[in-house]
Amino acid sequence: MLAKDLISDTIPALHTSDTAVIALNWMEIFKISHLPIVNNKELLGLISDVDIYDMNTPEDPVGNHKLSLSNPFVYQNQHIYEVIEVVSRLKLTIIPVLNDDKEYLGLINLNDIIHNFSSLMAIKNPGGVIVLELNVNDYSLSEIAQIIETNDAKILSLYVASHPDTMKLNITIKINKTDITSILQTFERYNYNVKATFMENNHLDDLYKDRYDSFMKFLDI
């Protein structure tokens, strides 16, 4: 999914002659805190509501305001992951999109990013979630996929998060089955540390009951 596929067709750009009042009104309407200032097809920068409030001159054109942001943007063919990185790092509510000639094409709204990212991560698809914790050197995507597929399941999405200042990884896996009991048991046989699981409550109850019964049988020996 590329930046050009995420461009909003509802939020307009400001011109240098537009007043700060107009900018604040649009920000209120669209529930955002930033707007691009564009001259023809040239992106001049982003103005924030904080910039406007600091100037305390709401009737002045936005072209007269000093901008606190250093003209952030993404190119049309950048991936949604790169878009998210820029928006997150700069704490933006929108991000302008330019073509290869640095001409302004439109902007991406944070809400649209969240909506499309949820589709990309298969969040709306039914299924269970497993979180594994392992060392960096032990991470093998092929082995994880093999364990899941040998239990007649498929990976819908997977993402990796590193622990700060450690060699540990958290691997979060979305699977196309709600009953992931057999998959969990296989991971445990392969000595994986299953940090967390999320599935339907009745399946969790069955899993805990099986473990309890096994433990009681062990005590009887």
Is residue 11 predicted with pLDDT exceeding 50?
yes
**Tens of pLDDT, residues 29-42:** 999 999 999 998 99
Residue 130 has pLDDT above 80, yes or no: yes
Look up the CATH number of domain 3-118. 3.10.580.10
**For residue 165, is it left (φ>0), alpha (ψ between -120 and 50) or beta?**
left
The mean pLDDT of the chain is 85
Instruction: Give the amino acid at 130.
Output: I
**124: pLDDT confidence band, cut at 50, 70 and 90?**
low
105-121: average pLDDT: 80
pLDDT digits (tens, 9 = 90+) for 146-155: 999 999 999 9
Q: Are 58 and 52 contacting, i.e. CB atoms less than 8 angstroms apart? A: yes
Q: Do residues 58 and 24 touch, judged by C-beta distance below 8 A?
A: yes
CATH (residue range 129-220): 3.30.70.260
Domain spans in the chain, listed from the N-terminal domain onward: 3-118, 129-220
Q: What is the pLDDT of residue 221?
A: 44
Is the pLDDT reported for residue 126 higher than 60? yes
Greater confidence, 63 or 145? 145
Determine the angle formed by the axes of helices 181-189 and 201-220, rounding to 10 degrees.
Answer: 50
Q: How confident is the model at residue 118 (pLDDT cuts 50, 70, 90)?
A: low
Virtual torsion, Cα 62, 64, 68, 71, nearest 10 deg: 70
pTM: 0.66
Report how far residue 125's alpha carbon sits from residue 119's, in angstroms, rounded to the nearest whole number: 9
**Beta strand segments in 49-89, E:** 74-75
Spatial separation of the C-alpha atoms in residues 211 and 207, rounded to whole Å? 6
Kindly write down the DSSP assignment for every residue of 72-94, as one continuous string. --EETT-BHHHHHHHHHHHT-SE
Quickly state the pLDDT bin for 213 (edges 50, 70, 90).
low
Length reported for the chain: 221
Per DSSP, the three-state class of 50 is helix
